[in-house]
Amino acid sequence: MPARRSGLGRGLEALIPQRDVIDQGYAVLSIDHIEPNPNQPRHAFDDAALDELTASIVEVGLLQPVVVRPIDGSRYELIAGERRWRAARRAGLVEVPAVVRSTDDQGTLTEALIENVQREDLGPLEEAAAYRQLLEDFDLTHEDIGKRVGKSRTSVTNAMRLLQLPASIQGMLERRELAAGAARALLSVEDLAFAEHIARRAAEDGWSVRQVEDAVRVRAGQSDDQPKPKIKQIRPVAIIELEHRLSEHLGAPVKIQYRGDKGKVVINFSSLDELERIYRDFYS
């Protein structure tokens, strides 16, 4: 995979100055100059989740900065964002956006990031990534984030759901080829290949959000037309007992089909001789 010069998303390129270090502010740092915190309690990272984040970074860049503190010369230690740092390395990035802080006080860092979310006109993906950063790095709940940024918990949750989209659709959204409303409509599509197909059609043909929603509804309707598994009804114990008694008396499998006050008795036989024997036993 070819290395990319910078890991900045489109919006962050305008927000973060393109130079090596800015004390107590934003910077673009060499990824090799950043090292993980040895006291980080989290050591296990889910490979599947890292793969998804890596694919997103390759497509749209690293949407939220890592948080670091200077430790020696041009070296920095991660305060928060190790998962993003690991995924960025996997994606082949040589530089990443970072918030440089001399303190790791959680309250100060949280307020600084919330201030940035409120101040800047972020795109939908950047907003979603900012919320995820507050959730993952600073243990805030969706409700906490909503209160801090002046939005409802539901708004925060729905915004973050955009990060569940395939990387290719995230790319269309980031490049503004696809409206945020259209992208949200695709969240309900379980077939990712179909979701990507609709997203491409919408981007190429200029579909409205309504047209995307209609396409999703048609797909859901087709799924609804598929045969549904029959729910097995609980059979009365008396009927089961009667089946056993008849089977023993006739020496052949007996099935009683019963619904309401009506039904039928089915007796299985394997030859005409056996049928004749059953007939004689029945009337004996």
The number of helix segments (H) and strand segments (E) in the chain equals 13, 7
Residue 75 bridge partners (DSSP): 72
Q: How far is residue 110's CA from residue 89's CA, in Å, rounded to a whole number?
A: 25
Q: Which of 59, 82, 95, 196 is catalytic?
A: 82
Under 8 Å CB-to-CB from 50, ≥6 apart: which residues? Answer: 83, 86, 87, 90
> Are 216 and 185 spatial neighbours (Cβ–Cβ below 8 Å)?
yes
CB 183 within 8 A of CB 158: no
How many other C-beta atoms can be found within 10 angstroms of the C-beta atom of residue 242? 15
82 is catalytic: yes
Token couple for 192? 């990712």
**End-to-end CA distance of the chain, in Å?**
84
Bridge-based pairing of strands 95-100 and 75-80 is unpaired
Phi, psi at 124, each rounded to 5° = -60, -40
Spatial separation of the C-alpha atoms in residues 131 and 155, rounded to whole Å = 11
At 222, list the tokens.
């087709």
The residues carrying an active-site annotation are 82
